[in-house]
Amino acid sequence: MTSPHPIDPHDVVVHLDGIAKRFGNAVALENVSLSFRRGTVTALTGENGSGKSTIAKIIGGLISPDSGQIVIDGESCRLNDPNAARRQGIALISQELTLAADLTVAENIFMGRLPARAPAVVSWRRMRSEAVTVLEMCGIDADPRARVGDLPIETQQQIEIARALSTHPSVLILDEATSSLSEKAADRLLELVEAQRRAGTTVVMITHRMNEIFRAADTAAVLRDGCIVAELDVATTTEDEIVRQMVGRELGDYYGQRTHTADPNDVVLGVKAVSVESKGLRPVDFAVARGEILGVAGLAGSGKEVLGHALGGAVVADGEIWVDGESVPSGRPDKVLDGGIGFVPEDRKAMGLMLNRSVAENFALAWRSRIFRKGLRRSALESRYVTEAVSRFDVRTASARLAVGLLSGGNQQKIIIGRLFELTLPVYVMSEPTRGIDVGARSSIYRMLREQAARGAAIVIISSELNELCGMCDRVLTMHQGDVVAEFIGQEITEDNINTAMVTGRAPLLQS
C-alpha cells in the first residue's frame, strides 16, 4: 500500500517500521508501517480495538512494541517510558485522564518541570503566572489554584490538553482528545491543532468523528484488526469511503428508523421537581412515554450530567421520580436499578466498570437477582449468560476472563450497555452513550436503542453530540445553567435550534 502523498524522507519526523504488539493471545498490531510528516495532521481512525490507541501509546512511550522499530528524525529510537518520548519532543494527550486530582491546575500543567527560583526551590508565583498564560492560550476558563479533582470532566480534559501544549512539542498525539469536550471546546481544540500544524508540528489525531477528520486532517490512516488497510488523502476521499474501510462493509441507515409512534399519555418515567441545588441542578419536570426516546442537550455545567446522576441514583436529589407509577428512591444506584431504571454514566471508567476485574465479572454486576439463589452464586448459569452476552453485543475480547481495563473503550461501553439491556428494563438513562465509540459500534448501539424503544422502554439520551440527538430522538430538552430552557419536537429538532438554546438560554423563534 502506498501513501496518498509522495514521501520526502527529510519531512518524515516519526516512522513506524513493522511494528507488532500482542496482549496475551490478542493481536493489537501486526506489521504496521506508517510515516508522520512535519507540519501535517494524520488522522488515525478505525473501529474500537483496531489498534489506534496502541500506536499512540507506543509512540508516547507508555508501552513497547514486541517487534519493529521507531525511527525519529532518521534515527532508530527506543521509547521505553514517557520521559524518553518527552525528550524526543513527543507529547501525548490520552483519552484517559492522567491528572493528579489532589493537585492544583497549575501544578498539573507543570508536573515534573516545576519552575524554580533556586535549586530545589519552586517558584510558585511564576508557576501560577505561566499557567495563566497557557490557559489563556488554550481558551480555558479555570483558576490555576483550583484543585483539579473539583473540576468537571470537560475542564479536566482541557487541562490535560494545556499541559501537553505547554511543552511546545514537535510531535503532538491526540487520542480521542475531544471525546469529553462540548462542541465549543472541541472547536477551540481544532483551532489549536491547526495553529500547531502551521507552526510545523507533526500532529497525530485519533478520532472517530468524521467532521474532525475532514476539518483538521491531511491524511487518514485506517486500521482494521491491527493492520493499516488504507491511507487516504482527506481532500479527495469521502466519509462513506473512510467508513467502508473502517468496518469493511456499508453501514446503511446510520441511526435506524422509528418503527412505532409513542403515545404521550402512556407515561413510563415521571420526573417532578427533581433538583440537586448543591451541584447547580434546579427543579426539573418532565415525563417520558412508553417507546419514546427523549434527548437532553446542554453545554458543560448546564446541569445535564447532574440530571443523569440524579435519575441514575449516583447523587441524592430532591423531588420525585416514578417508574410505571411507583416511586423510585434517590441516591441508591441499586435501588434505582431495582426500581426499573438502567443508568449508563458518562465516565465509564470511574463510574461504570471495575477495571481490574474480568469481562465476566463486569457483565454480572447488574445480574445479581438472576445468578444468586438463596445467597449462593450459580457459576454455570453466570458463565452461560456472559458467553451469550459477549456474542450478542459483539464484545471483542480474547477471553471473558480478561481484565476489562485491557479492552478498548468501545468494547467497555458495550459491556455497560449490554448488561443493562439484558434485563429488559422499563427505563434507560444514557449519559454520553457513544463517547469515544467508533462509527460501527455507534451504529450497533443506535440499533439496540431502537429495539429497546420498539419493545416499549422509555429512553433518555443525555448527549453533547447534537447530530446524535437529531438522528435518534422524538423530543429534545435543552438545559442552561441548571434549568430546562427549551423543548423541541419532531421537525423542530435541528442542530441550529438546539445550539441556540444551549448558548443563549432561551428557545429560538420557531416558524409556525
Predicted confidence (pLDDT) per residue in 147-168, tens digit: 999 988 888 889 999 999 999 9
Helix, coil or strand: residue 257: coil
Q: What is the share, in percent, of the chain residues with pLDDT greater than 70?
A: 96
pTM recorded for the entire structure: 0.68
Higher-confidence position of 261 and 14: 14
- Alpha-carbon torsion, ordered 107, 151, 93, 234, to 10 deg: -140
Tell which residue, 180, 134, 135, 154, has the closest CA to residue 434.
Answer: 180
pLDDT in tens, 358-391: 999 899 888 877 777 777 777 888 888 899 989 8
Report pLDDT for 215. Answer: 93
Which strand (E) or helix (H) includes residue 19?
A: strand 12-23
Report pLDDT for 328. Answer: 96
pLDDT in tens, 121-137: 888 999 999 999 999 99
Secondary-structure class of domain 12-251 per CATH:
alpha beta
Report pLDDT for 408. Answer: 79
Report pLDDT for 199. Answer: 92
pLDDT band per the 50, 70, 90 thresholds, residue 2: very low
CB neighbour list of residue 36: distance below 8 Å, 6 or more residues apart: 12, 13, 14, 15, 42, 171, 202, 204
Report pLDDT for 406. Answer: 85
How far apart are the C-alpha atoms of 339 and 112, rounded to whole Å? 48
pLDDT band per the 50, 70, 90 thresholds, residue 251: low
Query: In whole angstroms, how far apart are CA 312 and each of 156, 421, 470?
Result: 23, 15, 23
Q: What is the share, in percent, of the chain residues with pLDDT greater than 90?
A: 56
Q: Do domains 12-251 and 255-359+418-504 have the same CATH topology?
A: yes
- Alpha-carbon torsion, ordered 475, 481, 483, 484, to 10 deg: -20
pLDDT in tens, 78-97: 999 999 999 999 999 887 77
Domain ranges for the chain, please list them: 12-251, 255-359+418-504
Which of 4-8, 116-120, 271-275, 422-426 shows the highest mean pLDDT?
271-275
Task: Pull the grid cell for residue 185.
Answer: 471546546
Instruction: Tell me the average pLDDT across 491-511.
Output: 87
Which residues on neighbouring strands pair with residue 478, listed in sequence order? 297, 486
Domain 255-359+418-504 fold: Rossmann fold (3.40.50)
Report pLDDT for 309. Answer: 96
Residue pair 245/232 in contact (Cβ under 8 Å)? The answer is: yes
**Mean pLDDT of all residues in the chain?**
89
pLDDT in tens, 164-222: 999 999 999 999 888 778 778 888 889 999 999 999 999 999 987 888 999 999 999 99
